[in-house]
A and B are shown apart, each in its own frame.
Chain A
C-alpha cells in the first residue's frame, strides 16, 4: 500500500472481525440449538453455550426422525441429496464436455444453430417454467425418481460455454501433432484434451455440486413421497407441522447437517470454487 499506518490495520481487522462475526452468528446459534433439549430451545431463553443433548439430537435426527411426525430420518434425505447433487454435477459435465467438443473441434452444417439452441437456455432458470416442466416430468413418469430430480436441472448452457471457452485456449499445435501421430477424434479427446481439462472439470464440479445440493423449489414440487425428499426440502417440513410443537433442536441439527457438505467443499476446495464461480459467470 501507499502509506502504512498501524491504526489503519487495526480498523481493518476490527471491521473484518465484525463481518466474520455477523456471517458466523446465525450458524453458531443453530449449532448451539442443536445441542439442547426441546424445552430449552422452545422456552425462548436458550443460553449461548452448548448443551448436553448433542449426541442424542443428532442420533435422532439422522436415524430416527421426529417424534410427532412420520418424517423420514435425515440419513435417508442426506443420501437423496448426495445422489441428486452428484447426478446434476456429473450429468452436466458429461453432456456439456461432449457438446463443447463437437462445437469447437468439428465443422458441420447447423453447427451455429446447435450452439444457439443450447445457449438460449442460459436465459431462463427453471423457476420461471416450473409448472410446464413439472407436467413434462409427470408425463414421463419421472415424479419421485432420481432422474426427475436430476435431468431438468442439467438442461443449461453454463457447462458448454465454460468448456467451449477452455477448448478455444488449447493450442492448435496439439491437435496437429496428434493427427500426425495418427490419432482420431476419440484418441485426441481421451489422451490429450481430457487430461488438459481436469482443472476446468473440477471447478465446474464444485459449483454444480453446490448448486445441485442447494436446490429447493424443484425437489419440493416433484417429490411427493417422503422417502424421496432431499435434506434442504426436509427441514422446512419439520418446522411447519403444528408450529409451536415443532422440534427446533432437530430442525437445527438437520440444518447443520444440510450445510456441512457444501460448506466443506467451499472451504477445502477454495481455489477450485473461486475459479469455477468466476469462470461460469463470464
Chain B
C-alpha cells in the first residue's frame, strides 16, 4: 500500500532521513561489519596488530567443548522457560477470560512484572533462594535438602529458569488474553450445544484457534531467552557455577571481557547473528501467514 498523494520536494526527504541513517550506520552497520571482519582476524595481546587468519577463530570455537556446552545450556534454558512461561500464562489467561467481575483488576495485577528489569528480577530471586539467607531456602533446609544454587549447577539452572519464567508470564498472559478475547463466542456456544464440556471445548476449539498467538509467542519467547535474560543470569549466577548457566550470549560477553579473546568473541557474535536472522525469518514468514487469515 502506497500513498498516491505525496510531496514533491527533492532535498527534504533526505534531510529527514539523515538523523536515523547516521545513527544506524555509526552504531549498527559499522560495528556489525567489524564483528564479521574481526571474526576472521587475530589480535595480539595488546590489540596493536591484527592478522588475517581465515576461519581459524571459527575452527577453534567449534573445537571448544565449552561452546557446545553453552549451546546445550541455551537450548535447555530456552525450552524450559518457553514451555513453563507459556503454559502458566495460558492457564491464568483462560481464567481471566471467564467474564469475572474483577478481571480488569487481575489483569493489572498480572502484567506489571513486565516492567521489572531482568537484572532486578534476578536479584529478587537470588535473595529468595540464597542458600544462607533466603526465605524460601529455609524450608528446603528443614527438609534436609542440600539446596545451594551458588555451588550446584542444576540448582543454579532451576533458579535462573524460575526468575526468567516469573518475568515472562506477564507478557505471555497479555497476548494470550487478547487472543482468547478475539475468539468468537458463537463458536464456543455451538460447541456447547453439541454437548462439549469446558475441557473438551478448550482442547478442540480454543487451543487450535489460539495457535497463531502461541506460535508467535514461542518465537518471541525464544528471542527473549536468548538476549533479555542476560541480566538475570549475570545477577543470579554470573554464568556459574562452573559454566552451568553460561548461555551463548553470556559466553560472548564473558570471553570478550574476562578472557580478552576478541576474535573468538566476534566469531561467536557472528554465529549468534545467523541464529537471530533465522529466528526472525521464521517470525516474518509466520506474520505473513497471519495477514492472509
Within 8 A of A (CB), among B16-71: 16-17, 19-21, 23-24, 26-32, 34-35, 38
Q: Are B98 and A12 in contact (CB under 8 A)?
A: yes
Contact yes or no, B266 A132, CB < 8 A = yes
- Our pick among B12, B31, B119, B133 for the contact of A185 (Cβ within 8 Å) is B12
Residue of A nearest to B269 (CB): A128
A131 CB to closest chain B CB (Å) equals 5
In this complex, how many residues of chain A approach chain B with their Cβ under 8 Å: the count is 108
Asked if A98 contacts B111 (CB within 8 A), the reply is: no
A-side contacts of B257, CB under 8 Å? 221
Residues of B63-83 whose CB lies within 8 A of A: none
Set of chain A residues within 8 Å of B133, measured between Cβ atoms: 41-44, 46, 248
| Interface-located stretch among A61-69, A72-80, A194-202, A263-271 | A263-271
- Binding site secondary structure of chain B: helix
Count of chain B residues with a beta carbon within 8 Å of a chain A beta carbon: 102
Cα A252 to Cα B109 with chains together (Å) = 21
A102 with B16: in contact, given A23-B166, A46-B133, A232-B231 (CB under 8 Å)? yes
CB contacts under 8 Å to B, within A131-183, are 131-133, 135-137, 140, 151-152, 154-156, 160, 168, 172, 175-176, 179
Taking the closest CB of chain A, its distance from the CB of B139, in whole angstroms, is: 12
**Chain A residues within 8 Å of B31, by CB:** 129, 132-133, 135-136
Contact at A131–B231, with CB atoms within 8 Å? no
Q: Is the CB of A118 within 8 A of B109?
A: no
> How many angstroms from the CA of A217 to the CA of B7 in the assembled complex?
42
Assess the A99–B35 pair: CB atoms within 8 A: no
| A134 CB to nearest chain B CB (Å) | 8
Contact partner of A235 among B1, B119, B125, B269, CB < 8 A? B119
Q: How far is the CA of A103 from the CA of B20 in the complex (A)?
A: 12
User: Are the CB atoms of B19 and A33 closer together than 8 Å?
Assistant: no
Using known A-B contacts A111-B13, A251-B123, determine if residue A131 contacts B166 with beta carbons closer than 8 Å: no
Given A98-B20, A128-B269, A263-B112, A255-B124 contact (CB < 8 Å):
yes
Set of chain B residues within 8 Å of A245, measured between Cβ atoms: none
Q: List 25 A-B contacts (CB under 8 A).
A: A12-B98, A15-B92, A20-B106, A23-B113, A25-B128, A26-B124, A26-B125, A42-B132, A44-B138, A95-B19, A95-B20, A102-B12, A107-B8, A117-B24, A117-B29, A121-B24, A123-B277, A124-B28, A127-B252, A129-B269, A152-B27, A184-B7, A221-B257, A239-B123, A255-B120
Ranked 7 nearest A-B pairs via Cβ? A214-B117, A132-B31, A262-B115, A216-B231, A102-B16, A106-B13, A132-B34
Chain A residues with a Cβ under 8 A of chain B: 1-3, 8-9, 11-13, 15-16, 19-20, 22-27, 29-30, 33, 41-46, 48, 94-96, 98-99, 101-108, 111, 114, 117-118, 121-125, 127-133, 135-137, 140, 151-152, 154-156, 160, 168, 172, 175-176, 179, 184-185, 188, 210, 213-217, 220-221, 232-233, 235-236, 239-240, 244, 248, 251-252, 255, 258-259, 262-263, 265-267, 270, 273-274, 277-278, 281-282
